Amino acid sequence: MPLLLHSYSYRFRGIEVRKKLKMIAGIGMERVNHSVQHKSHVPKVMIMCTTGIVVENGDISQGGTAVKVGFDRVGRMEAAQKDSYKAVWTAEGQRRHPKVPSNKLRSKGEKYFKGMEVTGSNEGTAENPKWALKTYFKDTMLPRLDDLARQYGCIIRWQWDGAGPHKEEGLVEYLQEEFDKRGWMLACQCSQTPPVNIQDACVFPSLSKSQSKAQAMASGKRCLREEEIWEASKAAFDRMALPTIARSYAAHMQVVAAMIECDGSNDFMNEKGHGHYNIRKAYVETDDGEGVCVLTDEAAVDISSELLKYETMCQEDADYSQMRDDELAVILSAGYRRKQLRKCFCALKQYKEEG
């Protein structure tokens, strides 16, 4: 039984630029303009988010049980090297840092959270420390995955994008060795395909909107500070329902089917309503409230496929080990190349219908 995990890092901002905001003057809902000195001065917090879905029958199109694996802030607690003071503007429009007790931000030796650059295995220096993914996996993520594997009795399949730190040689060798010892799978998604990672397709957009709502309700025009960004985003992640995450993974197959329909390109993203696949109609929440399953009729017959936007490849079509030699020959004749995947699928489907 596989446990499919998607991981992604995202930079939450103290204020997000929004388009098509609602303005209803009749009820007092006016447009609110936010201002900041420069876009580089907007506070930011980098977060590493990992979620997953337990697929009981090995077929993600049938739904499953969602799990929240991690929502970790990039960086660590550091001791301040000197006293620091807040920036203020003078009457002449100059930016100053008055060294007065009422304006002190933190004292020397006081602990504070320091955001860091993400690397593969490079820890940086004492003056310029970095957040190494190798250390993160060794101390934090791998123990979590071991607990999940024991809890669900499953095989971990880890997927993330091909960012530079993810492909750093020291990290890849370490992870491949650890995953091979446990019989797990490690994979980077294809280039230029953010929709195939549900963090980028669903989780982060939802959390970003929740954070913007918290910012507007709590601070009005003021940008959130780093600690406020972390608290708002973490609270939004904790509130996110597990069935919502499970539906995102169910939509994962629809994204793949859309790419096959477009011969491997991202043209489907330019279509109106490209992010809607009728997932809410085709999948229902499970009785335990921790996942989703396909919609069935009174006779327990699966009717979800009739509601989905794209036809997906079934498990039997994707499992080459269960195919006969003549069926494999059909796929070989159609070609293995990614841009011909749709032709392979259609050729096999036509062969089965004729035979």
CB neighbour class for 172 (10 Å; exposed up to 12, middle 13-18, buried from 19): middle
Burial readout 102-125 (b: 16 or more C-beta within 10 A, e: otherwise): eeeeeeeeeeeeebbebbbbbeee
What is the value of pTM for the model shown? Answer: 0.79
Q: Report the C-alpha gap between 6 and 114 in whole angstroms.
A: 26
Instruction: Give the model's pLDDT for residue 344.
Output: 57
Type of residue found at 306? E
Amino acid, res. 188: C
Domain 2-19+32-74+116-239 has CATH 3.20.20.70: no
Distance CA 222, CA 250 (A): 38
45-67 per-position pLDDT tens digit:
999 999 999 987 777 778 889 99
**Helices 325-334 and 341-354: crossing angle, nearest 10°?**
140
pLDDT for the residue 57: 73
pLDDT given for residue 316 in this prediction: 45
Angle between helices 204-219 and 226-239 (to 10 degrees): 120
Domains of the chain, residue spans: 2-19+32-74+116-239, 76-114, 315-354
Residues 6+ apart with CB under 8 A from 39: none
Instruction: Give the per-residue pLDDT at 258.
Output: 81
Q: Which of 336, 321, 314 is nearest to 59 (CA)?
A: 314
* β pairing state of 44-54 and 185-188: unpaired
**Helices 341-354 and 242-261: crossing angle, nearest 10°?**
90
Over its length of 355 residues, how does the chain's per-residue pLDDT go in tens digits?
Answer: 788 999 999 888 887 766 666 667 777 767 766 667 777 778 889 999 999 999 877 777 788 899 999 999 999 988 888 888 888 888 887 888 888 888 888 888 888 888 899 999 999 888 889 999 999 999 999 999 999 999 988 889 999 988 889 999 999 999 999 999 998 989 888 777 788 888 888 888 888 888 877 777 776 667 788 898 899 899 999 999 999 999 888 888 888 878 777 776 777 777 777 777 888 888 888 888 888 888 775 544 455 567 777 776 544 444 555 556 665 565 555 444 433 455 555 666 666 676 5
CA 81 distance to own-chain centroid: 35
Cα dihedral sign, 173-175-178-179: negative
Please state whether 34 falls in left (phi above 0), alpha (psi between -120 and 50) or beta: beta
